[in-house]
Amino acid sequence: MESFNSFNSTSLPQMASYADLVKLAHRNPNLSSFENLWEAYYSYWNNDILATGIVTFIAHELIYFGRCLPWIIADAMPGTFNRWRIQDHKAPPSFATQWNCTKYILAIHFIVELPLIVLFHPMMDLCGLKYTSPFPAFKTVAAQLALFFIVEDTYHYWLHRAFHWGPLYRSIHRIHHQYATPFGLTAEYASPWETLLLGLGTIAPPLVLGYFTENVHLITVLVWMGLRQVQAIDCHSGYDFPWSMRRIFPFWGGADWHDDHHRYFVGNYSSSFRYWDILMGTVAGPKNGREKRRRD
């Protein structure tokens, strides 16, 4: 089990402030400024479970609502942005609609996700993930992120497809399809069970890889979590710009891909990429005879 022992306890002033810890941390010339701040942060809390929970939850909230903000602004300015709306024949979501969605998501974040985030540090210890300095090399982070995207996309495709089976749809997935015209905030508008089960596809790959390699760092997990949030929000945004990623990388799903899933109800089950739907013949849209239908 890792712990932060970079600071000699006898050198720490009683009730040291964070500023004091930062000064002490910068005495280590072998660490970068960010690594020194990271060490100081964990030493300040003197409770690794609490420190990991706080940084993970705050990062989750800042990234989620920070990334939703541009789409909220775009929805509030239809005269400027409507030309890039995918379902431009429908009005953008009202403020009341977005506020109701926000309240539900905050409830999910605090009631369902926060307890799981607090438990993440013990799971990290169990699976051998690292969280002390130094941080991993960029090439290691990049390779692991690519692997996580591929594994999560596969898991998401098959589980999401299963969610559209009648009993699972009615008991788990129906809430997410409340909005046939998605907008950014709806990325995590889901039932508690769906939040847990689909979230497993995000958090399990780092834990499993860490268990077998002992070479996964919390920093990599935080970057992965942030990228996965941005991807989910963007594909629910309802906008397709000339500079959208799917125009640069044709295999990328993007908003146009997932918007068709909400519009036609079935097909386009993948999260990030297109290949599973293409291989399995589940591309959404009228060309494949997919008609939008509602299940009560």
Residue 36: pLDDT band with limits 50, 70, 90:
confident
What percentage of the chain's residues is helix, strand, coil (to nearest 5)? 65, 0, 30
CB neighbours (10 Å) of residue 18?
14
φ and ψ of 286, to 5 deg: -65, -25
Structure tokens at 240: 């397709």
pTM of the full predicted structure? 0.89
Q: How far does Cα 67 stand from its chain's mean position?
A: 11
In whole angstroms, give the CA distance from residue 24 to residue 5: 13
- Per-residue pLDDT of 76-107, as tens digits, reads 999 999 999 999 889 999 999 999 999 999 99
In whole angstroms, give the CA distance from residue 165 to residue 158: 11
Closest CA to 195 of 107, 98, 294, 67: 107
Least confident window among 63-72, 145-154, 285-294: 285-294
Closest CA to 145 of 278, 272, 10, 296: 272
Ranges of each domain in the chain: 47-295
Q: Is the pLDDT of residue 292 over 50?
A: no
Query: Angle formed by the axes of helices 48-75 and 33-45, to 10°?
Result: 120
- CA 62, 64, 69, 72 dihedral sign is negative
Residue 11: pLDDT band with limits 50, 70, 90:
very low
Closest CA to 26 of 38, 15, 42, 9: 38
Residue 28: pLDDT band with limits 50, 70, 90:
confident
In whole angstroms, give the CA distance from residue 64 to residue 62: 6
Least confident window among 150-159, 208-217, 239-248: 239-248
Residue 288: pLDDT band with limits 50, 70, 90:
low
**What's residue 129's pLDDT?**
97
Amino acid at 70: P
Alpha helices in 164-291 (DSSP H): 166-168, 192-213, 218-235, 245-248, 254-264, 275-280
**What's residue 16's pLDDT?**
65
Tell me what percent of the residues of the chain surpass a pLDDT of 70. 90
Q: Is the pLDDT of residue 12 over 50?
A: no
**What's residue 7's pLDDT?**
44
